[in-house]
Structure 1
């Protein structure tokens, strides 16, 4: 895309996150009106095709993004970092985005694990400058083990939230997630029919993964625009 700039680099981490550095990838359109701090899921890093497609789609809609690796992914480990380390990494990424784009409204969140760690960080102490959180497949529970225990902190988030969820997501049974979101202040749930946790859809659905991505991006961008305009 000729109207955007991609910048690959390293992001320094504070002592509580290990004190080293992790890789990051910033994508900014020429005339951005918002920025999204975009954390990856537990099993795939920032360059996964889904992460790249979302970042490109957001750029096409005027939203810059900052992707980054959690320390365990930087090391090549398959075991996610502790919440303390992950949350400190989220804070470092938000600070980096604010430094890069001081005049842009900031949003944060991510895919699965990354979104959950972002929400935990925000619930413990507000992420400076962040106006809202966006979750792309919030992992409410482990596959096959329905529970709402992972939602206990969401009432402390304190900023608007958008949940983008597939109706076939095995990590967030709709019947459990719907009342959780309904009980939160300024939270929106958008369900994507037939999509699983990876936002894939079966052929029999009559839809394609590209259709799903387009729907996801459209809802995402509209929600961000509304928050920038002052909608709760």
Structure 2
């Protein structure tokens, strides 16, 4: 639910289904602008839907595109009705994701636990007190950022002619190929919506662990620094690697 207006509308309420769909927690949206801070995309199609609300008071199953927190475009069906709440005009919207043509993601295999990273103590404590939905949203966003950064590092290693690092990074990113988002939705982006929360966390810690291993043996400072920014803010390597990582 939101207040009304083409450019000044703000969020009033959102249920868990909507928050999961747009990869946001409520604190990021509460009383924020739908377009500048939320998922709405300004377009002639949106202007038409708003015109229908102004003239008819409702519209039904209109196709639209919204934007997730990671910038991915998501096709949805929206039905909306103009309502009054305590004397304030609001738009009550119902969203249904359009059927996905993307194949089901492959199962995430549980790898050797000694190669996985672990969440840092601070992040682990914060995750423990979060609502399950908010925890899931945060982990998926970390996973998307890590995957995109990993793909960028692979391209940098190719440009730097760091053959061994490039081969390792390409091997890791190749496993992420089934999660590539359609170019129209987000160039160079990934879509992990098909993973359940446990699989998303497993994949995140696997990737982080492999990135820490690459950092240890990477001689290119630029690539190493980029990889560090992907993992050191929320994970720590296994103790067997810790001293070598610190000294790298």
TM-score, normalised to structure 1, is 0.24
Of Structure 1 and Structure 2, which has the larger fraction of its residues in strand?
1
Structure of higher CA gyration radius: 2
